[in-house]
């Protein structure tokens, strides 16, 4: 079944003087999709959102909402609603008045307003607070009020700019679940901006990773986690952060081997003949996630390499073990509490199928 495209961003570029804040960015958001723009501060994600909202005018490119080119239209003619980091509820107004505000501005009748507000209040679990002043409620309720006011006008797309940044960590997890539940129940198309990779992984149908104004990769959360296209994406997605080690690819007795200090790892099965020949004798970057490493007391296979324990961090029922592989620092995450101490020599299994190899110069993934 074909899924309708709700938003199309085509070759979007935005400059501020000599700074290219958004550099030739293109992506699509589908009907009823939770789509996140993810990246570090200053990467261009909020500027992209502001261009889509009509708060910034792009220097190049197009913004198309439901087949209509809105690039030069003012915000009120784009069919969007926007919620910022600060929820911006009207604290002196009741919850009912907050939810009804946008509808009154748009000249809906009193009966239409009441019908819509009651339906939204029920969906947002706000029915019992309709006559309460918004300023007396907690952050969770205020977030739902801000969302409800935006949803009430039935926008084509709901734009959310880091709406949970100011929320206390203790309630942030429940608010993430609440937002995802609302999106599914109300069938809303959401474009969500965040710097928090955990937040994006938990809530999104798809994620667009940005850095330095460029869009680096778009995909489902697990697709990006399992198949990062470059070193930046590999490092940005996943916790603890992926290990990136310097290595050299050599041919030995007909086999391709990665040389990490004095350690040799057979990776013949990872390369096609053409790619292998291109990189033989060259330095590359090896990536492997801490959770994909196996810690052993004794060597059991050719993929087990000797390491020295540098530091151990206990994380509840898991532990993060920092080790030295020659001069390289490697971290492994394990659920098993081995009887090991700092300074011990242990073995680490590097499964070839779990290894990523990147071009050292471009940092793009090879295999």
Statement to judge: residues 83 and 212 lie in one domain: yes
**pLDDT band with cut points at 50, 70 and 90 for residue 271:** confident
Statement to judge: residues 119 and 19 lie in one domain: yes
Which has the higher per-residue pLDDT, 273 or 44? 44
Statement to judge: residues 55 and 199 lie in one domain: yes
Statement to judge: residues 320 and 256 lie in one domain: yes
Query: Are residues 204 and 192 in contact, defined by beta-carbon separation less than 8 angstroms?
Result: yes
State whether the Cα torsion 292-295-296-302 is positive or negative: positive
Tokens 């996943």 found at = 238
For residues 62 and 127, give the distance between their C-alpha atoms in angstroms, rounded to a whole number: 41
pLDDT at 2: 60
Does residue 332 fall inside a structural domain? yes
Query: Are residues 161 and 49 in contact, defined by beta-carbon separation less than 8 angstroms?
Result: yes
Which has the higher per-residue pLDDT, 44 or 315? 44
Which of 216, 236, 256 delimits the end of a domain?
236
Statement to judge: residues 226 and 279 lie in one domain: no
- Indicate the average pLDDT of the chain: 91
Range of the domain at 302: 243-359
Does residue 298 fall inside a structural domain? yes
pTM (2 d.p.): 0.91
Does residue 201 fall inside a structural domain? yes
**Using one digit for the tens of pLDDT, what is the confidence trace for 147-202?**
888 888 888 999 999 887 767 777 778 778 888 888 888 889 999 999 999 999 99
Write out the chain in H/E/C secondary structure. Answer: CCCCEEEEEEEEEEEECCEEEEEEEEEEEECCCEEEEECCCCCCHHHHHHHHHCCCCCCEEEEEECCEECCCCCHHHCCEEEECCCCCCCCCCEHHHHHHHHHHHCCCCHHHHHHHHHHHHHHCCCHHHCCCEHHHCCHHHHHHHHHHHHHHCCCCEEEEECCCCCCCHHHHHHHHHHHHHHHHHHCCCEEEEECCHHHHHHHCCEEEEEECCEEEEEECHHHHHHCCCEHHHHHHCCCCCCEEEEEEEEEECCEEEEEECCEEEECHHHCCHHHHHHHCCCEEEEEECHHHEEEECCCCCCCEEEEEEEEEEEECCEEEEEEEECCEEEEEEECCCCCCCCCCEEEEEECHHHCEEEECCCCEECC
Does residue 365 fall inside a structural domain? no
Statement to judge: residues 230 and 247 lie in one domain: no
pLDDT at 1 over 60: no
Statement to judge: residues 146 and 251 lie in one domain: no
**pLDDT band with cut points at 50, 70 and 90 for residue 209:** very high
Statement to judge: residues 185 and 312 lie in one domain: no
Which of 186, 202, 236 delimits the end of a domain?
236
Statement to judge: residues 226 and 262 lie in one domain: no
Which of 236, 270, 295 delimits the end of a domain?
236
- Looking up residue 324, the CATH number of its domain turns out to be 2.40.50.140
Q: Per the structure, how many domains does the chain have?
A: 2
Tokens 């040389």 found at = 259
Does residue 364 fall inside a structural domain? no
**pLDDT band with cut points at 50, 70 and 90 for residue 87:** low
Does residue 64 fall inside a structural domain? yes
Does residue 366 fall inside a structural domain? no
Does residue 367 fall inside a structural domain? no
Statement to judge: residues 334 and 247 lie in one domain: yes
Q: What percent of the chain has pLDDT over 70?
A: 97
pLDDT at 232 over 60: yes
Query: Going by DSSP bridges, is the β-strand pair 190-194/34-38 parallel, antiparallel, or unpaired?
Result: parallel
- Looking up residue 58, the CATH number of its domain turns out to be 3.40.50.300
Statement to judge: residues 105 and 86 lie in one domain: yes
Question: HSE of 310 in the Cβ direction (CA atoms, 13 Å)?
Answer: 14
Statement to judge: residues 220 and 280 lie in one domain: no
């Amino acid at each position: 079944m074909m899924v309708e495209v709700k938003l199309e961003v085509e070759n979007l570029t935005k400059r501020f003087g000599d700074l290219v804040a958004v550099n030739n960015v293109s992506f699509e958001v589908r009907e009823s999709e939770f789509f996140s723009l993810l990246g570090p501060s200053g990467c261009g994600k909020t500027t992209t959102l502001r261009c889509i909202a009509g708060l910034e005018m792009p220097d190049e490119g197009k913004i198309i909402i439901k087949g209509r080119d809105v690039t030069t239209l003012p915000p009120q003619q784009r069919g969007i609603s926007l919620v910022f980091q600060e929820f911006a509820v009207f604290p002196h107004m009741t919850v009912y008045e907050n939810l009804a505000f946008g509808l009154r501005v748009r000249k809906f009748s009193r009966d239409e307003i009441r019908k819509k507000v009651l339906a939204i209040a029920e969906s947002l679990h706000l029915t019992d607070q309709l006559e309460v002043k918004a300023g007396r409620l907690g952050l969770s309720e205020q977030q739902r009020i801000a969302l409800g006011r935006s949803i009430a006008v039935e926008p084509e797309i709901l734009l959310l700019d880091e709406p949970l940044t100011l929320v206390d960590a203790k309630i942030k997890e429940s608010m993430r679940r609440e937002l995802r539940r609302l999106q599914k129940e109300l069938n809303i198309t959401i474009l969500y901006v965040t710097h928090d990779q955990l937040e994006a992984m938990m809530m999104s149908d798809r994620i667009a990773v940005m850095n330095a104004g460029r869009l680096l990769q778009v995909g489902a959360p697990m697709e990006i986690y399992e198949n990062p296209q470059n070193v930046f994406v590999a490092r940005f997605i996943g916790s603890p952060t992926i290990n990136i080690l310097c290595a050299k690819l050599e041919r030995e007795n007909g086999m391709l081997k990665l040389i990490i200090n004095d350690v040799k790892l057979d990776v013949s099965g990872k390369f096609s003949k053409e790619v292998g020949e291109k990189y033989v004798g060259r330095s590359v970057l090896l990536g492997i996630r801490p959770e994909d490493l196996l810690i052993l007391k004794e060597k059991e296979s050719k993929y087990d390499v000797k390491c020295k324990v540098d530091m151990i961090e206990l994380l509840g029922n898991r532990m993060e073990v920092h080790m030295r592989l020659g001069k390289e620092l490697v971290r492994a995450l394990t659920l098993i509490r081995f009887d090991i101490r700092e300074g011990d020599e242990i073995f680490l299994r590097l499964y070839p199928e779990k290894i990523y190899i990147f071009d050292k110069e471009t940092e793009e993934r090879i295999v």
